[in-house]
Chains A and B, each alone.
Chain A
């Protein structure tokens, strides 16, 4: 398991892995939105929680289709399927690697982007906390979508069609936590919901992923 994790992280970090693409996309969103809606900081700080969460969500989505596709094409996935490690474990490790390479950097960079969108000072802690708690769910749900569409020729579009509706609860609770935090009201409840979604996804989705990959490899 650890070998697989390290392999995936290395593949993603080195040239051609697309590391940083998601980050760059996240940055672009944060730059483009003020250009689109105008520079008034009152308006920006009102919509900042939502924009940051939607941006993080889309940035996560960008790199999903590579999660299993490359290994499926060159046959590594077949080897993993016959290896002693169950496919559920493979899926969990792939999701973890995706989170470490895509989700975690988003969490780290998010305060800077919050600054760009003039998020109110009270919101930063909640922004980082909500992204840290919520982004694992994004990676796990994404892994499920990627597992479903791994055998398809043009899987990317269908992948987003499948994954985005499933991101709704995470987005709602995540953005709500930041909004409440920024407004100074109690943000703990949505944050706890967010944590519950991430934990539930971690508990259930690797099995669904495993089933999907098995169906695709048949």
Chain B
């Protein structure tokens, strides 16, 4: 039993068909619990009032926007090294999801920033690097859409993803150099274990983050299945045409 068994599209389709209802159900459940808990059963912050509650959308989507890129990077590397189609297709499937999370992160941030910082947008390092991440997503998606041959597209986007990762990382630190920011530091620190967010808000936040992770897994599985089916249809049409 190795993880590479799931590189077989048939095996992947079987397993994902079984897993999908569970993952999506759990994700919906966690999101409902986390968001309801967060929105209605936590006190208002003494300074920020009710606006603090946008954290339940903002932080998880921002985390997933970055994680999605790492997932694409892993998928691209596996495609380039082992040539498993499922991995390339999952990277393709993750990109629009990641872009959506990036946009959610930016929009919720703007909605929160307007009353808190008094501005919708500031050229803060975190905001700027997030915007740049969104641009990288756009370029990646555009390249997938533009290249006709599927394997060439997978090759090219994989190379782009790897090189893009280096540059996205560089940009992250370049903008840090360029401007000191308004945005607070990391809200959830994994390494130190101690949260910068008070426990009242921290527990529902954790539920929401887990819900978002599962939501991401659900969407990527779903989209990968769609891609595999689309690929099969294309193959069938090609076969029929060859026979005729």
Q: Which residues of A line the B interface, CB within 8 A?
A: 141, 144, 148-149, 151-152, 154-155, 158, 161-162, 164-166, 168-169, 172-173, 176, 190, 193, 197, 204-205, 208, 211-212, 215-216, 218
Contact = CB atoms under 8 A, between A and B. Distances in A.
Interface in B146-182: 146-147, 151-152, 155-156, 159-160, 162-164, 166-168, 170-171, 174-175, 177-178
Contacts of A144: 163
B139 A158 contact: yes
- SS of B interface (majority): helix
Interface in B98-140: 132, 135-136, 138-139
Given A149-B143, A169-B167, A193-B177, 6 more contacts: A158-B142, A165-B167, A169-B170, A190-B177, A208-B159, A211-B159
B156 A158 contact: no
A175 to B, nearest CB: 8
Given A158-B142, A162-B143, A165-B139, A176 B178 contact: yes
Given A169-B170, A197-B170, A161 B177 contact: no
A212 B156 contact: yes
A166 B167 contact: yes
B133 to A, nearest CB: 9
Contact of A152 (B138, B147, B166, B170): B147
A167 B32 CA distance: 41
A148 B174 contact: no
The CB with the most chain B CB atoms within 10 A, among A144, A148, A161, A165, is that of A165
Nearest to A215: B155
Closest 4 CB pairs of A and B: A215-B155, A169-B174, A162-B139, A165-B135
A216 B156 contact: yes
A173 B135 contact: no
B162 to A, nearest CB: 8
10 contacts: A149-B146, A151-B147, A161-B142, A162-B142, A165-B164, A172-B175, A172-B177, A208-B163, A215-B156, A218-B152
